[in-house]
Amino acid sequence: MSVLVRPQRVSRFGSRRAGLLVERNVLVYRRTWMVIVSGFFEPLLYLLSIGFGLGALIGAVPFGGRDVPYTVFVAPALMAASAMNGAIYDSTMNVFYKLKEARTYDAILATPIGPGDVALGEISWALIRGAIYATTFLLVMFLLGFVRSPLAILAVPSAILIGFAFAGVGMAATTFMRTWQDMDMVQLVILPLFLFSATFYPLETYPDAMRLLVQLTPLYHGVDLIRSLTTGIVGPGILLHIAYLAIMGIGGLAITSRRLDRLLLK
């Protein structure tokens, strides 16, 4: 006689259990570390090509009531985009594969690890990846002379916050996806964010209606936050940026936990 034991619903978050999931990802990626490194090069190439190329033609651009060199203006934006890319990749494609194809989470939930732990563990791993990108990118900026303030040291935790926001929402969105074709929607969202979040042009250059739309996008808040810190032009608006990104990440984490509970323990 066999007894079917259904896993107990464990929706609460446990840092130790979530840490086991992070450890699993570290073991998986230790042989494929080039996959992680590759995500760093795209924004770096943008920095070297657009920063130096357009920078030589444009000169200085306005930011925070001052004129700053174009390379100093665009570099922190690309650092924010780098953190976003690292977090989004792990929280969408990797999570979708484990959820729909490999059924990794079905096996994991047969242990004391619950949906909340899975959500926290995967998002934590995405943050680690984003932090690697951000730290390396900030070092490159420093070596190239694009850092103008000691406050730039705070750009790394700011980039981690950006990663948290996008990883939370990215993983939550992934739980609603049914096929690999749905992943095209990710690029459909990320590419406009990358191009139209005051990444390459000052906010003042946009038409009034579009300027308001840009200010509502999450990457704009990340870009402006890191740009303020690396240039030393800091105002009270950074508190709004921090609150926006934190709420976005916490909301995504909560939705992900509930969705995994519904999908995997039904």
Position 1 scores a pLDDT of 41
* Average confidence score pLDDT of the chain: 82
| Each residue's pLDDT tens digit, 216-237 | 999 999 999 999 999 999 988 8
- Quote the tokens at residue 92: 């969408």
- Quote the tokens at residue 16: 């130790």
Tell me the C-alpha distance between 24 and 29, whole Å.
9
Residue 159 has pLDDT above 50, yes or no: yes
* Crossing angle of the two packed helices 218-231 and 184-195, in degrees rounded to 10: 40
9 Cβ contact partners less than 8 Å away, ≥ 6 residues apart: 114, 115, 261, 265
| Each residue's pLDDT tens digit, 206-217 | 888 899 999 999
| 129 compared with 157, residue with greater pLDDT | 157
Q: What separation in angstroms does the CA of 150 have from each of 155, 159, 216, 233, 236?
A: 10, 16, 28, 11, 18
Kindly report the backbone phi and psi dihedral angles of residue 251, in degrees, each rounded to the nearest multiple of 5, phi listed first. -60, -45
Q: How confident is the model at residue 105 (pLDDT cuts 50, 70, 90)?
A: confident
Question: Do residues 43 and 76 touch, judged by C-beta distance below 8 A?
Answer: no
Burial of 182-206, coded b for 16+ CB within 10 Å and e otherwise, reads: eeeebeeebeebbebbbbbbebeeb
> Any idea what DSSP says for residue 7?
P
Domain ranges of the chain: 15-264
Position 2 scores a pLDDT of 41
Q: If you average pLDDT over residues 132-158, what whole number do you get? A: 88
